[in-house]
Amino acid sequence: MRCSGVVWRARRYSMSTDAQDARSASISSPIQEGPAKGMFSSAELCYLSIAEASRLLVSRDLSSVALTTAILQRISETESRVHAYVRIMKESALREARAADERALRGARLGPLDGIPIAVKDLFDTAGVVTAGGTGAYRERVPVDDATAVRRLREAGAVLVGKTNTHELAMGGTTNNLHYGATHNPWRLDRVPGGSSGGSGAALAAGQALGALGTDTGGSIRIPAAFCGVTGHKPTFGLVGRGGVIPLSLTLDHAGPLARSAEDCAIMLSALAGPDENDLDSAAPPNRDYAAAVTESVAGLRLAVVPSLLDSCQAAVIENFERALAVFQDLGIILDECEPLAGLSDDWRGLVGAILRPESASYIEQVLIRRPEAIGEPTRSRLREGLEARAVEYARALEARKRIEQRYELALQRFDGVVVPTSPMVAEPIAEDPSDEPQIPIRFRNTSVFNYTHQPAISVPNGSDTDGLPTGLMIAGAKFNDSLVLRLAHAYQQLTDFHHHRPSL
């Protein structure tokens, strides 16, 4: 590990570039607290934050049925262009919304998620509803029980509006799915939304949900958040139970929320976090209210910038990152440099494949043997590589992961968090043939580090390039310090408005 003693000096930029001004001109101002009944257009309802909508539900200035109906109408209007969902749960969603309104009338709301429309990545089991995991092998797979995270959302009163598209078996970063079609980025319909939780990210950006569930093995919550201009939190490993989630890598998989803001992610995490008897890695501490801590001061905290994770970033990514550092300095945060992996071989960059391929192949081995044609290329080839992986190479990869975790935990004895660009790039064009889609390993370079470390990390929108494609800022912290990561992200969003921007669909 190498950390400098020189405080980082962020380059200063004006808070609005010409491209952002042009985009913002067509964007409505954020809705404020306390609006009167009848003051909303349907589109405005669809872009409410969870926190805003919850306050309106409490005051009865809004009903869950009205909100859910607006979301379903928005899906109807935009889904042919975006294709964020693989199935809509319209009838059950309206039933759940009516039940939420009845509770509200009795003064018996279950909490801030009660009556809020939420999308679910099609990797999470939903009782009685097909959960295919993005693969043709599971087209008819209907679970009997809900995944733990889905059950927790139901217990919190959330309205589940549908299942979102994913890269096949979550093994990819574009959500260009051979079986169920490509999901399109709402900011530029010819671009990918990121993956593998691209359907969830696109649904939020398109106003088709107020929150969403995703999974993250190498960046699959945070990259769609960055590419789609929304917020995505990968919790500490083991904090959110993965019971009932189709696995990709039991060593690296995380489940967590995507939403408009860090505050909304904190609200969702408060419901999602907790012990899970169906997840052998469940390690949740006692239940806590993560949203309650987001407003605490961040002045005096120390954040580490990792210079090696700035290499090869696109120009707009670097410019927006340095602008974000200036915001942190305005918040009274101290910035410094640190290289936790200094002296380690660059071999760590390929660990995701070395770990997840044999682990994912072990889960779907029988399908690979008996019905390989049900899995599309290139996913099938990668899984076969996993079946052929040498045990000694897999063991070495696990050892290397632990070494990276140790280095970053040691670094965070001196710092309160790490701040880097979410991805070195913006969303690339959608390939015409998903079977021949080029791999872009650098997409995952920054995010995958924090899957290895098992530490919490959040991506928040921090601007766009000259083509209007969003970029993301990532904040990570020590294990089980999710509340601090969320607080830092919330503080940043109090001084910026990127999370209020929306595409002109």
Confidence class of residue 1 from pLDDT cuts 50, 70 and 90? confident
pLDDT score of 444 more than 60 = yes
Cα 144 to Cα 57, 158, 218, 243, 291, distances in angstroms: 32, 20, 29, 13, 32
The token pair that represents 91 in the structure block: 């009838």
pLDDT score of 14 more than 50 = no
CATH number (domain holding residue 140): 3.90.1300.10
- pLDDT value at residue 23: 32
DSSP 292: G
Confidence class of residue 3 from pLDDT cuts 50, 70 and 90? confident
Instruction: Please count the structural domains in the chain.
Output: 1
120 vs 110: CA distance, rounded Å = 20
Hunting for tokens 């380690």 — which residue is that? 344
The token pair that represents 183 in the structure block: 């999901």
Most confident of 17-21, 79-83, 347-351, 433-437: 79-83
Picking from 502, 77, 14, 8, the residue whose alpha carbon sits closest to that of residue 260 is 502
Q: Which one-letter amino acid corresponds to residue 199?
A: G
117 vs 139: CA distance, rounded Å = 25
58 vs 249: CA distance, rounded Å = 40
pLDDT score of 286 more than 80 = no
What mean pLDDT do residues 288-309 have?
Answer: 96
When mean pLDDT is compared across 22-36, 403-417, 459-473, 481-495, the lowest value belongs to 22-36
356 vs 413: CA distance, rounded Å = 29
SS3 content of the chain, % helix, strand, coil (to 5): 40, 15, 45
Picking from 337, 334, 329, 335, the residue whose alpha carbon sits closest to that of residue 492 is 329
Confidence class of residue 4 from pLDDT cuts 50, 70 and 90? low
| β-bridge pairing 211-216 and 231-234 | unpaired
Inside any domain, residue 478: yes
To the nearest 10°, report the CA torsion of 57, 59, 61, 65: 30
Inside any domain, residue 38: no
What is the extent of the structural domain holding 262?
2-8+18-24+45-500
- pLDDT value at residue 10: 56
Residue range 310-319, pLDDT digits in tens:
999 999 999 9
Inside any domain, residue 233: yes
Chain Cα centroid distance, residue 41: 27
Q: Evaluate whether 417 touches 408 at the Cβ level (below 8 Å).
A: no
Angle between helix 482-494 and 262-272 (nearest 10): 160
Inside any domain, residue 30: no
Picking from 319, 300, 461, the residue whose alpha carbon sits closest to that of residue 10 is 319
Residues annotated catalytic, as ranges = 121, 196, 220
Inside any domain, residue 33: no
53 vs 67: CA distance, rounded Å = 8
Inside any domain, residue 34: no
Inside any domain, residue 427: yes
Confidence class of residue 343 from pLDDT cuts 50, 70 and 90? confident
Q: What percent of the chain has pLDDT over 70?
A: 93
What are the helix (H) ranges across 40-120? 42-46, 50-59, 64-82, 90-105
When mean pLDDT is compared across 107-121, 252-266, 277-291, the lowest value belongs to 277-291
Q: CA Rg, the chain, in Å? A: 21
Inside any domain, residue 40: no
